[in-house]
Amino acid sequence: MYKGFGSRLFDSINIAAMLLLVFVTFYPLYYIFVVSVSGGSAVMRGDVSFYPIDFNLNTYSLVFQDPSIWRAYLNTIVYTVVGTLINLFCTALCAYPLSKRDFYGRGFFTLMIVVTMFFSGGLIPSYLLVQKLGMMNTMWAIVIPGAISVWNMIVMRTFFQGIPNELYESAGMDGASELTSLIRITLPLSKPIMATMAMFYAVGHWNSFFSAMIYLNEKAKFPLQIILRNMVVMGEMSNQSQEISGAYAAVTATNIKYAVIIIAVLPILLVYPFIQKYFVKGVMVGSLKG
């Protein structure tokens, strides 16, 4: 097919712009990787930009020598898996009745739930609550308080509403209870949204550090993000403001920091492509029908 000059010009500008966008998005991640496999002094001189200099994997072997990293890795995986399962279970159970038009008091319950999106008790009351519930210093303090994200619940409810009511009616005719309807009809039809929610929640758990830091006391229970954050953020802080500490300004080398970052984000990066096909579909369908 013949393309005019204008069309080709547009295409090439378009492609160039998209490539630039891809580069801008991808480069920071790539840079972190390149620095993590470069020699320390090359990094300090600022020589590293596009390819590794003095390529070596010492940083990774150093990081993996630290047993607390492995421990934290395991903790993160446990918190993510358990947390995501709890999230999906609770969110689906909450979204299902709210998606039913004939659910008594639907508007009232929805309002009550939505209010929590905008108002929350804040840190101190939450802390006291977790403490009184006896969840302090356990995994439950991390996975239970955030069991339902209102936003995600509403997206899921909207998706459920898209399932034709006639399906439920005929199922009811055949003697299906609400629970059977949920398990046999709603959930099988909602795989995209479940996958999306799983992804949202899992990334959230993977990246979360605050609740773990506040509620956990023992180092052996810390997730990976706490250790990562301590290495990366604390290093920055000491350099700027902790002059008093003199010789104690952090010395964590940049390439080691970056190696930990790579190690921490890699699993999520690897999972992402497999869920992505559901991902786009799930979010789009939810939003369109809303």
Partner 1 sequence: MAKRKGFQLLAVSALLATLVSACSGGGSNGAAGESAGASSGAGNASTKPAAGGTAAAQQKVTVRWMRGENPSQAIKTDTPVLREIARQTGVTINLEPVPGSNYVDKKRALLATNNIPDIIGLESKEVAEFAGTGMFVPISDYLDRMPNLTKAIEENPEIKKLYVDGKLYSLPITEQFKIQGGKTLLIRTDILKELGLETPKTFDELYTVLAAMKKAYPDSYPWTARGMSFMDALSFGMGSGYGMTYDPDADNYFYGTNKPEFKEVLTYLNKLYSEKLLDPDFAVNTKQNWDEKLSTGKSFFYYDNNQFAVNYNATLQETDSNAKFDRIPYLRNAKGQTRGWLYPKGWLVDNYAISAKTKNPEALIGMFDWMYGPEGTTVTNYGVEGETYELVDGKPQIKADVLEKYKTAADPARVMMSEIGAGLLALAVRVDEGPTKQVTHPDLVRWGEELVADPGAVIVPGLAPGFTSEENESIKEITTKTSVLEQDVVKFIMGTKPLSQFDAWAGELTKAGADNLEKIYNEAYNRTK
Q: Find the binder of partner 1 among 184, 219, 277, 289 (CB under 8 A).
A: 219
> What residues from 119 to 138 belong to the interface with partner 1 (CB under 8 A)?
123-124, 127-128, 131, 134, 137-138
Regarding 214 and contact with partner 1 (CB under 8 A), the answer is yes
Piece of 148-156, 163-171, 196-204, 239-247 that binds partner 1 (CB under 8 A) = 239-247
Distance of closest approach, residue 35 Cβ to partner 1, in angstroms: 11
Q: Is the CB of residue 163 less than 8 Å from the CB of residue 204?
A: no
> What residues from 34 to 73 belong to the interface with partner 1 (CB under 8 A)?
41, 44-46, 62, 66, 68
The b/e string for 84-103 (b: 16+ C-beta within 10 A; e otherwise) is bebbbebbbebbbbbbbeee
Tokens 């200099």 correspond to 53
Residue 214 CB burial class (10 angstroms; 0-12, 13-18, ≥19): middle
Q: Which residues contact 278 (CB under 8 A, 6 or more apart)?
A: 191, 192, 195, 196, 199
Piece of 104-112, 151-159, 165-173, 212-220 that binds partner 1 (CB under 8 A) = 212-220
Regarding 247 and contact with partner 1 (CB under 8 A), the answer is yes
Tokens at residue 218, please? 């023992």
Regarding 209 and contact with partner 1 (CB under 8 A), the answer is yes
How far apart are the C-alpha atoms of 103 and 230, rounded to whole Å?
A: 48
Instruction: Tell me phi and psi for residue 57, to 5 degrees.
Output: -110, 20
How far apart are the C-alpha atoms of 32 and 266, rounded to whole Å?
A: 12
Q: Which is nearer to partner 1, 108 or 248 (CB)?
A: 248
Q: What is the dihedral of CA 35, 39, 45, 49, to 10 degrees?
A: -30
Q: Which residues contact 154 (CB under 8 A, 6 or more apart)?
A: 95, 114
Regarding 213 and contact with partner 1 (CB under 8 A), the answer is yes
Q: Which is nearer to partner 1, 207 or 238 (CB)?
A: 238
Q: Which is nearer to partner 1, 74 or 234 (CB)?
A: 234
Regarding 177 and contact with partner 1 (CB under 8 A), the answer is no
Q: Which residues contact 179 (CB under 8 A, 6 or more apart)?
A: none
Distance of closest approach, residue 29 Cβ to partner 1, in angstroms: 18
Piece of 14-22, 77-85, 106-114, 231-239 that binds partner 1 (CB under 8 A) = 231-239
Distance of closest approach, residue 249 Cβ to partner 1, in angstroms: 7
Q: 122 to each of 117, 142, 214, 217, 263, how far by Cα in Å?
A: 12, 16, 13, 20, 32
Q: Find the binder of partner 1 among 9, 233, 266, 280 (CB under 8 A).
A: 233
Regarding 229 and contact with partner 1 (CB under 8 A), the answer is yes
Q: Is the CB of residue 210 less than 8 Å from the CB of residue 142?
A: no
How far apart are the C-alpha atoms of 153 and 150, rounded to whole Å?
A: 5
Piece of 3-11, 26-34, 82-90, 251-259 that binds partner 1 (CB under 8 A) = 251-259
- Residues found near partner 1 in the complex (CB under 8 A): 41, 44-46, 62, 66, 68, 123-124, 127-128, 131, 134, 137-138, 209-210, 213-214, 217-220, 222, 226-227, 229-231, 233-240, 243-254, 256
